[in-house]
Amino acid sequence: MNRRWHKTALSMMAAGFALVCMTASIAGAEGKSGTNASYSSWTDFSTWNRVPIAKPVWSADIGQPNADVYAYPAITTTGNTVLYVKQGVLTARSANTGKMLWTYGKKLRPDTILTAGAYAYLYDNEGAIYRVSLKTGRGERFFQLTDSVSKGRKGITGLSLSTEDNALYAASAGTLVSIRLTDGKLNWRNDGLETPTPPQRVGDVLLFDTDESGAITVGTTYAIDPSTGKTKWRLAGSHSKLLHADGGELYFQDQWPNPDGGGSVKLDVASITTGEIVRTLTFPALMDDRTHQYTLFDKIAIDGDDLYIGTNGKGVYRYNLHADPLYAKPALISDYGSWIAGPYNGKLIFSNTGRLGIHAIKWFDSAQVEYEGVNNPISQLDMIDSGLYVGQTDGSVYALNVTTGKALFRYDTGARNYGAFQTTGSTLLVQAEGKLYGFQLPSELVKPISADSAAADSFAKTKAKLSIDGVERAVEPGMMTSANRMFVPFQSLTEAVGAEVTFDAATNQATVTYNNRVFSITQGKSFAITADGQQQLSFPPVTLNGNLYVPLKDFGQLLGIQVEWNASSHTVEIKTK
Tell me what the mean pLDDT of segment 347-356 comes to: 89
Distance CA 471, CA 30 (A): 93
Distance CA 11, CA 4 (A): 11
Residue 58 has pLDDT above 60, yes or no: yes
DSSP letter at 209? E
Lowest mean pLDDT among 7-21, 50-64, 378-392, 530-544: 7-21
Residue 11 has pLDDT above 50, yes or no: no
Tell me what the mean pLDDT of segment 385-402 comes to: 96
Distances from the Cα of 350 to the Cαs of 405, 420, 438, 445, 452, in angstroms?
Answer: 13, 19, 27, 21, 21
CB burial of 470-508 (b: ≥16 within 10 Å; e: otherwise) equals eeeeebeeebbbbeebbbbbbbbbbebbebebeeeeeee
Provide the percentage of residues in the chain whose pLDDT is more than 70. 86
CB 91 within 8 A of CB 118: no
Distance CA 232, CA 273 (A): 8
Tell me what the mean pLDDT of segment 381-403 comes to: 96
Domains of the chain with bracketed CATH: 459-575 (3.30.457.10)
**What average pLDDT is seen over the chain?**
86
Residue 107 has pLDDT above 50, yes or no: yes
Residue 279 has pLDDT above 90, yes or no: yes
- Give the pLDDT band (50/70/90) at residue 511: very high
Provide the percentage of residues in the chain whose pLDDT is more than 90. 52
258: alpha, beta or left? (left if phi > 0; alpha if psi -120 to 50): beta
Residue 5 has pLDDT above 80, yes or no: no
Residue 522 has pLDDT above 50, yes or no: yes
Residue 106 has pLDDT above 90, yes or no: yes
- Give the pLDDT band (50/70/90) at residue 207: very high
Residue 159 has pLDDT above 90, yes or no: yes
CB 410 within 8 A of CB 53: yes
Distance CA 243, CA 251 (A): 6
Residue 465 has pLDDT above 80, yes or no: yes
Residue 260 has pLDDT above 70, yes or no: no
Best mean pLDDT range from 16-20, 302-306, 352-356: 302-306
Three-class SS state of 310: strand
Tell me what the mean pLDDT of segment 208-236 comes to: 92
Three-class SS state of 152: coil
- Give the pLDDT band (50/70/90) at residue 459: confident
Angle at 404 between CA 403 and CA 410, to 5 degrees: 105
Distances from the Cα of 523 to the Cαs of 284, 455, 529, in angstroms?
Answer: 25, 12, 13
Backbone angles phi, psi at 18, to 5 degrees: -65, -40
Distance CA 173, CA 160 (A): 15
Neighbours of 26 (CB within 10 A): 11
